[in-house]
Amino acid sequence: MVVDPQGVKTASVGTEEGIAVAALDRTVIERVREVNPALRLRRYKVVPG
């Protein structure tokens, strides 16, 4: 399943195994991050001290 920053499902493989592919619009992602600043703070890589 692919979910956009607002939690809207954009692609799914249903109940079967598989790979879901979706195109995400960067302008929509940036707009959501402006409205919800907590999403801008997400760290994908945590580097110790």
The domain segmentation of the chain, as residue ranges, is: 2-41
pLDDT: which is higher, 24 or 18: 18
pLDDT at 41: 72
E strand or H helix at 33? helix 26-35
Centroid of chain to Cα 3: 5
Percentage of the chain lying above the pLDDT 90 cut: 14
CB 2 within 8 A of CB 22: yes
Is the confidence at residue 12, as pLDDT, over 70?
yes
Tokens of 28: 């929509």
With b for 16 or more beta-carbon neighbours within 10 A and e for fewer, the 6-31 pattern comes to eeeeeeeeeeeeeeeeeeeeeeeeee
